[in-house]
């Protein structure tokens, strides 16, 4: 089975399953991860971002990890908002607090940036493992 869902594609919803096709999916409140970030997340998740205890990049969208985490926050919010009992509590506790702590961490994805300037991060440079160490799970 292949997975065509791309974590960096924040505008396309994952493929629907047969069960989802049978019933109409609820309408989205926000049309994209960026809209969610500007209209919901950042207005409600207010922190002091001085660079010492928290960092943010003004051009956050150039950081693949940040894009993926904001998209995950958006998708989780859209799903959990439908639970009138504990949905928002679960979203804050399990999603927002976790991902925002990572995003704002001074050693996180924006470690090389500041509020006024984006700087390209140094990417991790892995070596390829010796042949045979990792089997292709699609072939098992």
Say whether pLDDT at 5 is over 60. Answer: no
> Which residue reads 């922190």 in tokens?
47
20 vs 121, which has greater pLDDT?
Answer: 121
Return the domain boundaries, the chain. 61-116
Burial class, 127, CB count within 10 angstroms (exposed 0-12 / middle 13-18 / buried 19+): exposed
pLDDT of residue 10 exceeding 50, the answer is yes
pLDDT confidence tier of residue 2, bands split at 50, 70 and 90: very low
pLDDT band at 75 (very low <50, low <70, confident <90, very high): very high
More confident: 123 or 31: 31
pLDDT tens across 87-140, in order? 999 999 999 999 999 999 999 999 998 778 788 877 778 888 889 898 888 888
Q: Considering the entire predicted model, what is its pTM?
A: 0.74
In SS3 terms, 42-110 reads as HHHCCCCCCCCCCCCCCCHHHCHHHHHHHHHHHHHHHHHCCCCCCHHHHHHHHHHHHHHHHHHCCCCCC
- C-alpha atoms less than 13 angstroms from C-alpha of 110 in its C-beta half-sphere: 29
**What mean pLDDT is predicted for residues 15-22?**
58
Query: What percent of the chain clears pLDDT 70, i.e. is strictly above it?
Result: 84
Q: Give the confidence band of 4 by pLDDT, cuts at 50, 70, 90.
A: very low
């Amino acid at each position: 089975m292949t997975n065509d869902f791309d974590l960096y594609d924040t505008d396309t919803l994952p493929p629907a399953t047969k069960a989802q096709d049978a019933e109409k999916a609820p309408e989205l409140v926000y049309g994209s991860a960026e809209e969610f970030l500007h209209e919901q997340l950042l207005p409600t998740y207010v922190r002091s971002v001085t660079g010492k205890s928290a960092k943010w990049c003004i051009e956050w969208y150039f950081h693949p990890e940040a894009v993926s985490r904001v998209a995950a926050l958006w998708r989780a919010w859209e799903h959990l908002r439908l639970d009138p009992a504990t949905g928002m509590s679960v979203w804050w506790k399990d999603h927002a607090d976790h991902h925002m702590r990572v995003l704002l961490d001074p050693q996180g994805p924006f470690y090389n940036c500041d509020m006024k300037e984006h700087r390209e991060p140094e990417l991790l440079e892995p070596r390829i493992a010796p042949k045979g160490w990792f089997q292709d799970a699609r072939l098992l």
